[in-house]
């Protein structure tokens, strides 16, 4: 470990303690962000707040692009590198949900608090943090709230930005509210799909094999479970959601199944998807139900090596802060960096529970450690310590 890098990580505990001075600002940003509903494809109001705040903090080129990303640039003293730090703007919760954050001394509770209002609030507060700690970067720091990330959004916001920006990105950091210790620098292959089953209005219930849509979806699920899934390359089929029908005493005329195919091999993902498509065609022919197979999102496997300087330095930083790292592949924004051959990592900020529920809860005290690790990675990238020779 170089003397310069050792000096960098020795300062991290000092930074962590000084972050407590900005507790009120950070939590205010968290509350204000969270109270603006931001479902996927409906992030406009949250994006507007994010960009306005960046402008108030003195960033340059604060703007909202064509697809709805919010971006601001903190210029570096040299400006010879561009570091992109990103957190997604969207949430799984719609406008019909009460987005109020309940703040306690040690916890914050509310729908989307950890995914991903905390991530957004943390990168939004970064300009004030760097100023408070008297840190001046050589590199330009691009702070971005990305839209259309979750579900059918398919990381469209970040993909659009990376495909259209004129700024060469040296490295990327994806920030998620939960979980502290999360470390991702690779992505596995993934295909997110939806099967819809609909019984036609004038359905022949007398034909052999004629059943309601729920039974039909069940036939498909049973057939999917019969697909042999290899251990190498590691592969799995995740049946995420099934829904159908409307009442106790009425035969269901529509139902859907949502699932993901995940594998270390892109060929295996495609092979299994083709098998499942054939299953739907066969079941449709046997039952005369209208069955559609739609691909909603895809990811390619890839990423940086375990021994890449960015991965190594990040692990060293986490070790210095007594963060037990959990190396897991990512299927979030990191995939967009990988597709563009940009070295990047995904980091979590704190611990949480009830994720995805309206009482989503995040711990406040570990956040300062989480932000300190992000600062460490930014500084290591800025000083060229994460560059490959």
Nearest to 281 by CA among 220, 221, 190: 220
Outline where the chain has alpha helix (H). 3-10, 12-18, 23-34, 44-56, 118-132, 156-164, 213-225, 266-287, 309-320, 334-339, 367-382
Instruction: State the average pLDDT for the chain.
Output: 94
Query: Percent of the chain beyond pLDDT 90?
Result: 88
pTM: 0.89
Strands 189-198 and 60-64: unpaired
Residues 259/272, Cβ–Cβ less than 8 Å: no
pLDDT at 206 over 60: no
pLDDT at 203 over 70: no
pLDDT in tens, 291-340: 999 999 889 899 999 999 999 999 999 999 999 999 999 888 999 999 99
Residues of the chain with CATH 3.30.70.360: 189-299
pLDDT at 278 over 60: yes
User: Which CATH number fits the domain 3-187+301-382, given the four candidates 3.40.630.10, 3.40.190.10, 3.40.50.300, 2.70.70.10?
Assistant: 3.40.630.10
pLDDT score recorded for residue 389: 72
Fold of the 189-299 domain:
Alpha-Beta Plaits (3.30.70)
Residues of the chain with CATH 3.40.630.10: 3-187+301-382
pLDDT at 111 over 90: yes
Q: Tell me which residue has tokens 């001394």.
A: 105
For 335-357, give the DSSP string.
HHHHHTT--EEEEEEE-EESTTS
The SS3 call for residue 21 is: helix
232: left (phi over 0), alpha (psi -120 to 50) or beta: beta
In angstroms, rounded to a whole number, what is the distance separating the alpha carbons of residues 144 and 209?
53
């Amino acid at each position: 470990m170089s003397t310069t890098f050792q000096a960098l990580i020795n300062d991290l505990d000092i930074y962590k303690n000084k972050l407590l001075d900005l507790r009120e600002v950070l939590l205010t940003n968290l509350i204000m962000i969270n109270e603006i509903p931001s479902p996927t494809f409906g992030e406009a109001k949250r994006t507007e707040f994010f960009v306005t705040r960046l402008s108030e903090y003195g960033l340059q080129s604060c703007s909202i692009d064509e697809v709805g990303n919010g971006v601001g640039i903190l210029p570096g003293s040299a400006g010879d590198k561009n570091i992109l730090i990103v957190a997604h703007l969207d949430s799984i919760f719609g406008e019909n949900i009460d987005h109020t954050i309940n703040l306690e001394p040690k916890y914050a509770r509310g729908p989307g608090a950890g995914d991903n209002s905390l991530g957004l609030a943390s990168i939004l507060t970064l300009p004030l943090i760097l100023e408070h700690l008297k840190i001046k970067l050589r590199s330009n720091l691009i702070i971005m709230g990305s839209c259309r990330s979750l579900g059918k959004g398919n990381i469209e916001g970040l993909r659009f930005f990376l495909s259209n920006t004129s700024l060469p990105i040296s490295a990327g950091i994806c920030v998620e509210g939960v979980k502290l210790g999360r470390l991702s620098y690779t992505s596995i292959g993934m295909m997110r799909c939806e099967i819809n089953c609909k019984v036609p209005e004038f359905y022949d219930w007398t034909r052999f094999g004629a059943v309601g849509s729920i039974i039909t979806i069940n036939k498909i699920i049973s057939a999917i479970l019969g697909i042999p899934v290899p251990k190498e390359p590691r592969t799995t089929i995740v049946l995420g959601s099934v829904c159908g029908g409307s009442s106790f005493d009425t035969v269901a005329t529509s139902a859907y199944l949502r699932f993901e195919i995940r594998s270390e091999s892109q060929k295996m993902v495609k092979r299994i998807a083709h098998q499942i498509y054939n299953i739907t065609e066969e079941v449709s022919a046997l039952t005369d139900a209208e069955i559609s197979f739609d691909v909603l999102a895809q990811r390619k496997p890839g990423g940086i090596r375990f021994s890449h300087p960015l991965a190594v330095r990040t692990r060293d930083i986490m070790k210095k802060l007594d963060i037990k790292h959990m190396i897991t592949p990512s299927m979030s924004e990191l995939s967009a960096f990988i597709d563009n051959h940009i070295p990047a990592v995904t980091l979590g900020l704190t611990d949480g529970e009830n994720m995805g529920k309206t009482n989503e809860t995040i711990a406040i005290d570990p956040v300062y450690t989480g932000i300190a690790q992000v600062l460490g990675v930014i500084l290591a990238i800025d000083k060229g310590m994460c560059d490959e020779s």
